[in-house]
Amino acid sequence: MRKKTGLTVVEQAIKVVPSFQRVVTKLEQQVAIRGQSNSTLNNYIRRIALFVIHFEKLPEYIEEDEIIEYLASLARDPKSPSRSSFKHMVYGLRYYYRLLGMNKQAIALPSLRQDTKLPVILNRSELRELFSAPKLLKQSIVLALIYSAGLRGQEVINLKISDVDFERKTIHIRQSKYKKDRIIPLSPAMAIGLIKYLNAENPHIWLFNGKEPDGRYSVRGLSWVMRENLKKTSITKDVSLHTLRHTYATHLLEEGINIVTLKELLGHADITTTMIYLHVAQCELIKPHSPLDTLYKQRDNKV
């Protein structure tokens, strides 16, 4: 994020308060030690930098009532209906105070109500319409791949050609969220599409080349592909790129996969995260019964 000065928000904060450089270094060290993602680090640092620029001081030198007033203005901001700026600022400040051992200040920050919205899911007709919308093969393949394997945007751009094993029909996701590797199935239909794409586009190293400095695609670019192709469809649901991952999980549940296996496929650290899909999946209802009722029934059927 760069302002008109040509400096990033973090660089501006360091210019305004030079001691903020030590904070940045300490945050980087802590995130590395805890194995957290760079996106988490960057988000925290940007939020704290905006805070520092606003007050022209480090957070520990700001009075509590001033902080509350500032956070209240973010919460009331009509340009942020989801209150994401407010929430991320609170998360960033909590992390900062705990980093300095100022737990009382962290606890004193406003508590955040957990969102209770269920994920929006695309039906199969909508998926077929979406995948046929792109004119470019690359766009069609990348959207279909996200759904076929339930990938996060960051996981897609990190995929190398060598991570796809066409013989074993697997995809190797490396060091994703929570610094975990996982192996997921490669759909035979998806494998055909990927081979066609590889022969046509001839990408180098990365499965999807883009304009990033290291040659990769960007998550922003993936989101753009999703938005632009949605415009060509009749889909009216409020969806995003991540909707394809939600849809993957829900459809697998509906097709009978168990929740523990789904947790591993999605790379969730906690099964409670996976259980949200139980509320949206349209699974066949089985009338409550005793297993004794079916114990002899199955044998009788074989006679």
Residues paired with residue 181 on neighbouring β-strands, in sequence order: none
Q: What is the pLDDT of residue 247?
A: 96
Q: What is the pLDDT of residue 283?
A: 76
**What mean pLDDT, rounded, does the chain reach?**
85
Residue 79 to residues 48, 110, 219, 234, Cα–Cα distance (Å): 20, 20, 23, 27
Residue 88 to residues 53, 82, 250, 294, 301, Cα–Cα distance (Å): 16, 11, 28, 53, 59
Q: Measuring CA to CA, which residue among 215, 148, 184 is closest to residue 207? A: 215
CA dist 247 and 212 (Å) reads 28
- pTM, two decimals, is 0.64
Exposure on the CB side of residue 227, measured as CA atoms within 13 A: 6
Q: How do beta strands 170-173 and 182-185 pair?
A: antiparallel
3 state DSSP class of 185: strand
CA dist 277 and 251 (Å) reads 9
Under the banding of pLDDT at 50, 70 and 90, the label for residue 81 is very low
Amino acid code (one letter) for 208: F
Residue 150 to residues 1, 71, 89, 196, 243, Cα–Cα distance (Å): 29, 35, 29, 21, 10
- As a whole-number percent, the residues of the chain with pLDDT over 90 amount to 50
Highest mean pLDDT among 34-48, 69-83, 158-172: 158-172
Asked whether the beta carbons of 69 and 24 are under 8 A apart, the reply is no
Under the banding of pLDDT at 50, 70 and 90, the label for residue 233 is very high
Q: Which domains does the chain have, with CATH numbers?
A: 9-108 (no CATH), 124-279 (1.10.443.10)
Q: What is the pLDDT of residue 154?
A: 92
Amino acid code (one letter) for 27: L
Mean pLDDT of the region 200-216: 93
Residues paired with residue 173 on neighbouring β-strands, in sequence order: 182
In terms of pLDDT, which residue wins out, 233 or 69?
233
Q: Describe the strand order of the beta sheet including 170-173 as a list of residue ranges.
A: 164-165, 170-173, 182-185
In terms of pLDDT, which residue wins out, 298 or 201?
201
Look up residue 209 and give its two tokens: 């080349």
Range name among 76-80, 134-138, 217-221, 287-291 with the lowest pLDDT average: 76-80
CA dist 9 and 92 (Å) reads 15
Amino acid code (one letter) for 292: L
For 21-49, what is each residue's pLDDT tens digit?
988 888 888 777 777 666 767 778 888 99
In Å, the largest CA–CA distance within the chain is 84
Q: What is the pLDDT of residue 72?
A: 75
**Which residues are tagged catalytic?**
152, 177, 242, 245, 268, 277
Amino acid code (one letter) for 9: V
CA dist 269 and 273 (Å) reads 8
Q: What is the pLDDT of residue 12?
A: 93
CA dist 246 and 147 (Å) reads 8
